[in-house]
Amino acid sequence: MRILITGGSGFIGQALCAHLQRVGHRLTVWSRHPRQAAQRLPGVHVIEDLAEANEIEAVVNLAGEPLVARRWNARRKQQIRDSRIGTTEKLLRWMAPQLRRPHVLVSGSAVGYYGPRDDTPLDESAAPGEDFAALLCRDWEHEAMEAEALGLRVCRLRTGIVLGPDGGALQKMLLPFRLGLGGPIGDGRQWFSWIHREDLIGLIQWLLEHDHAGGAYNGTAPEPVPQREFARTLGRVLHRPAFLPMPAFALRLALGEASTLLLTGQRVLPVHAMAEGFAFRHPALEGALREVVH
């Protein structure tokens, strides 16, 4: 299949591209920085302008400004929204006039869709939240669903915290943990819905290749944990103590509203993918962390 990918140069995208190439798909990545992206993505056709994309059969849409990199003000919030909803809108404008449109769109979203939640397990039918991240995901998904009117099969992927060896949230946590200075974030009772990057990539491939797949999918492992259990398990895997909490007030001071992404959580289950037969290679946290951290 010839697949167009947005966000292909990122933490998930690079590993996704390497995997999809290995299994025989041909890839085009749409990037704002085509030269840098091409260096990171050997063998991938990198384009700066969508007009250069030809004979695309499927689209994976992952582009987005990082959410927790800095404090959110009105301008930053707009950049975060434009980079996702605006990019999706541009994809639709590119597809609409084509005679031979792609037949499937796998489009990003996140577990933040559900907003801050208590211990209740959440499947894909749970209602969306109302905070900034939830509204962002809801509107990002709505935009992607417009592709159904153009005849595409649309899968919306509500991704949890992605664990991989060379980036993402885990890389930011590793240094304090390796120094024995790690611990729970805030009181650690918030749920942490995670997924091993290999499983997320496997799920994206599966959604692309299974003609019956469509709708919302929680891209999370079947065993989410409270954040303090995540910290304990990471400490155990690294053979380091992990008792020093990251105080909530310090995070609020440093990140403002963006700290809610770390201090709150949701207990998300991949009910849709499992009901359709997707098998996780890394369902349990300790095994996944051992594989990622070594």
Return the number of the residue (145 or 244) whose C-beta is nearest ligand NDP.
145
Q: Is 169 exposed, middle or buried (0-12, 13-18, 19+ CB in 10 A)?
A: middle
Q: Which stretch binds ligand NDP (CB under 6 A): 32-40, 70-78, 114-122, 246-254?
A: 32-40
Is 107 among the residues that bind ligand NDP (CB under 6 A)? no
Is 108 among the residues that bind ligand NDP (CB under 6 A)? yes
3-class state of residue 41 by DSSP: coil
Among the listed residues 102, 104, 122, the one whose alpha carbon sits nearest the alpha carbon of residue 112: 122
Q: Provide DSSP, 60-115.
A: EE-----SSSS---HHHHHHHHIIIIIHHHHHHHHHTT-SS--SEEEEEEEGGGG-
Which structure tokens are listed for 61?
Answer: 């849409």
Q: Which stretch binds ligand NDP (CB under 6 A): 2-10, 206-214, 222-230, 281-289?
A: 2-10
Is 190 among the residues that bind ligand NDP (CB under 6 A)? no
Cβ of residue 99: shortest distance to ligand NDP, in angstroms?
27
Is 18 among the residues that bind ligand NDP (CB under 6 A)? no
Alpha-carbon gap, residue 162 to 167, rounded angstroms: 9
Tell me if 240 sits within 8 A of 178, measured CB to CB.
Answer: yes
Is 93 among the residues that bind ligand NDP (CB under 6 A)? no
Return the residue matching tokens 């992990």.
242
Q: Which of residues 124-163 bind ligand NDP (CB under 6 A)?
A: 159, 161-162
Return the number of the residue (161 or 273) whose C-beta is nearest ligand NDP.
161
Return the number of the residue (7 or 270) whose C-beta is nearest ligand NDP.
7
Return the number of the residue (80 or 99) whose C-beta is nearest ligand NDP.
80
Interacting residue ranges for ligand NDP, rule: CB under 6 A: 7, 9-13, 31-33, 37, 62-67, 83-84, 87, 108, 110, 159, 161-162, 168-169
